[in-house]
Amino acid sequence: MVNTLQRYLLKQFFFASASTVCLFVIVLIIGNAIKEILPLLASGKIEWSFFFDTLFHLIPSMIAYALPLGMLTATLLVLGRLSAQNELIAMKASGLSLYYIIAPLLFIASLGTIFSLWVNFHWGPHSITYYRTALSNVIRQKPLQFIQAGTFVKDFPGYMFYIEKKHNDWVDQCWLWELDSQQASGVNVFLHSEKGFLRYDESSNSIILTLMQGVGEKYTTHANGEFEAQQIVFDNTSVALPLKTLLGNSTFHKRLGYMTLHEIMKERKRATSWAGKIIANLEIQKEAVMSFAILSLILIAIPLGIKLSRAETSANIVLAVALALSFYFIVMAISWLESKPTLRPDILIWLPNVVFQCLGIVLFKQALKH
């Protein structure tokens, strides 16, 4: 039966966990936003609604990493503060054992593990698939957004152009330079057209810029160093602007890391080789390991939080990040063995959990003696 003290500890740990998990989710989302989405927003290539929608769908995939780190930090913060303020000593003096004191923490950690399993195997894959698909389709759906009027566009290798006005798929007053470093002028061809239009070509993953009824110049540098400009008049001409350098391939290929548990099991069943089945097993076990990382990290954090007696938030956060990063590094290192199925990486992937839990138990037994 839960008494007043355990309700107090439950409340302290729950709100500390919620706060730290939200903090790390925000930090991870900002990191991804700066890397992939914010440049597109800043250049006007996507709208605010798309920006916030994609960020929202990043949350589940970030929770998978933020939950272990956040709950680990919360454990160090709560126990460190209780220890620093001698509240733990008072609890022990009242006849309460450490098992009794940490029971609320382990209860919430168990709930966090179950929630993390659901996130990793269901909610997360659906959300990250939506996010990646949205980024892949944003060009195809609105290619004109990637062509900005009133500015020199230099995003496409080999070309630079300037559009004065644009409306829908049509552009007015367009100047285009085909760049060539071997030419003395640095330009191979210059074109100007009063009108043109844009379209997306799926087969080549390119934006096709068609210029109509324009003029231009073709530049040639002769072997003797002389420079020649030849006048050009055209009815219409098209230039393919490849998009791969902006957002990669136009289509999103769903890899194992973006699949739900049911989808991974179907892939494992379809695998014709033993190595293919091991790779599918590894992905399943990796997601499970990341969920049980919550318990593993908290088992270490409990004795450390009691022993270190630190109430400083910054020190505890640094310690939590160091522990979590070491855990994640071992998991990643073992994941790299997927090309060597004979080493059974799908079994070795549980090594960090085993090591951290055993170390946590040893440290906790030492804490019981004091």
What average pLDDT does the structure give for the chain? 86
pLDDT of residue 1: 47
User: CA-to-CA distance for 17 and 11, rounded, in angstroms?
Assistant: 10
Mean pLDDT, range 297-320, rounded to an integer = 76
Q: How confident is the model at residue 113, as a pLDDT? A: 95
The pLDDT tens digits for 93-115 are 888 888 888 999 999 999 999 99
pLDDT of residue 343 exceeding 50: yes
Distance CA 344, CA 164 (A): 60
Does 281 or 89 have the greater pLDDT score?
281
Taking only the tens place, the pLDDT of each residue in 118-135 is: 999 999 999 998 888 887
Residue 233, SS3? strand
Query: Alpha carbon of 122 to those of 8, 55, 125, 368: distances in Å?
Result: 33, 18, 6, 39
Beta-sheet pairing, 170-179 with 159-167: antiparallel
The CA angle 314-38-26, to the nearest 5 degrees, is 30
Distance CA(61)–CA(59), nearest Å, equals: 6
E runs forming strands in the chain: 152-153, 159-167, 170-179, 187-201, 206-221, 227-242
Question: pLDDT tens digits for 4-15?
Answer: 888 888 999 999
Report if pTM > 0.95. no
Instruction: Indicate whether 80 pLDDT > 60.
Output: yes
- The residue-averaged pLDDT of 136-147 equals 68
Percentage above 90 pLDDT, the chain: 41
Q: Is the pLDDT of residue 250 over 50?
A: no
Report the first-to-last Cα separation within the chain, whole angstroms: 27
d(CA 113, CA 293): 8
Helix 274-308 / helix 313-335 crossing angle, nearest 10 deg? 160
The answer on pLDDT for 310 being more than 60 is no
The two structure tokens encoding residue 232: 């050009």
Reported confidence tier of residue 222, pLDDT bands at 50, 70, 90: confident
Question: Quick count: other Cβ atoms within 10 Å of Cβ 199?
Answer: 13
| Res. 348: pLDDT tops 60 | yes
Give the distance, in angstroms, between the CA of residue 114 and the centroid of all CA atoms in the same chain. Answer: 22
> What's the pLDDT band for 296 if we cut at 50, 70, 90?
very high
- pLDDT of res. 77: 87
The DSSP string of 110-160 is HHHHHHHHHIIIIIHHHHHHHHHHHHHHHHHH-GGGGS-BTSEE--STTEE
pLDDT mean over 253-277: 89
Q: Which residue has the higher pLDDT, 338 or 251?
A: 338
Burial of 2 from C-beta contacts in 10 A (0-12 / 13-18 / 19+): exposed
Do residues 242 and 157 lie in contact, with contact meaning Cβ atoms separated by under 8 Å? yes
pLDDT at 245 over 70: no
What SS3 class is residue 211?
A: strand
Average pLDDT over residues 307-312: 61
pLDDT digits (tens, 9 = 90+) for 164-175: 988 878 889 999
Domain segments of the chain as ranges: 4-141+257-368, 148-247
Place of tokens 């991804």: 32
Determine contact, residues 78/12, Cβ cutoff 8 Å. Answer: yes
- The stretch 135-141 carries a mean pLDDT of 70
Residues 121 and 287 sit within 8 Å (Cβ to Cβ): yes
pLDDT tens, 190-211?
999 999 988 888 788 788 899 9
pLDDT band at 357 (very low <50, low <70, confident <90, very high): very high
Residue 193 has which token pair?
A: 């057209």
The whole-number pLDDT of residue 298 equals 93
